[in-house]
Amino acid sequence: MTVERLLKDEATEEKGDRARMASFVGAMAIADLVKTTLGPKGMDKILQSTGRGHNVTVTNDGATILKSLHIDNPAAKVLIAPDISKVQDDEVGDGTTSVVVLAGELLREAEKLVNKKIHPMTIIAGYRLAAECARNALLQKAKDNKQDPDKFKSDLMKIAMTTLSSKILSQDKEQFAKLAVDAVLRLNGSTNLESIHIIKKAGGSLKDSFLDEGFILDKKIGIGQPKHIENAKILVANTAMDTDKVKIYGARVRVDSMAKVAEIEGAEKEKMREKVQKIIAHGVNCFVNRQLIYNFPEELFADAGILAIEHADFEGIERLALVTGGEIASTFDNPESVKLGHCKLIEEIMIGEDKLIHFSGVEMGQACTIVLRGASSHVLDEAERSLHDALCVLSQTVNDSRVLLGGGWPEMVMAKEVDDLARKTPGKKSHAVEAFSHALQAIPTIIADNAGLDSAELISQLRAEHHNDTTNAGIDIISGGVGDMEKLGISESFKVKQGVLLSATEAAEMILRVDEIITCAPRKRENRM
Q: Out of 57, 96, 369, 397, which one is annotated catalytic?
A: 96
Distance CA 203, CA 456 (A): 44
How far apart (Å, rounded) are the C-alpha atoms in residues 183 and 394?
10
- 271 Cβ partners below 8 Å, 6+ apart? 243, 244
Q: How far is CA 140 from CA 107, 127, 163, 293, in A?
A: 27, 20, 23, 61
The packing angle between helices 295-303 and 258-280, to 10°, is 40
Reference 137, options 466, 510, 481; nearest CA is 466
Would you say 124 and 20 are in contact if contact means Cβ atoms under 8 Å apart?
no
Q: Exposed, middle or buried, 25 (CB in 10 Å: 0-12/13-18/19+)? A: middle
Catalytic: which of 89, 94, 381, 389? 389
Nearest to 197 by CA among 380, 372, 375, 394: 372
Rounded-to-integer distance, Cα 511 and Cα 30, Å = 13
Per-residue DSSP letter, 403? E
- Check 36, 37, 97, 425 and give the catalytic one: 97
Please pick, among 36, 37, 59, 61, the residue that the annotation labels catalytic: 61
389 catalytic residue (yes or no)? yes
Is 97 an annotated catalytic residue? yes
Annotated catalytic, 519?
A: no
The HSE-up count of residue 416 (CA atoms within 13 Å, CB side) is: 20
Active site residue 36: no
Phi-psi category of 364—alpha, beta or left, where left has phi over 0 and alpha has psi -120 to 50? beta
> Annotated catalytic sites, by residue?
61, 96-97, 389
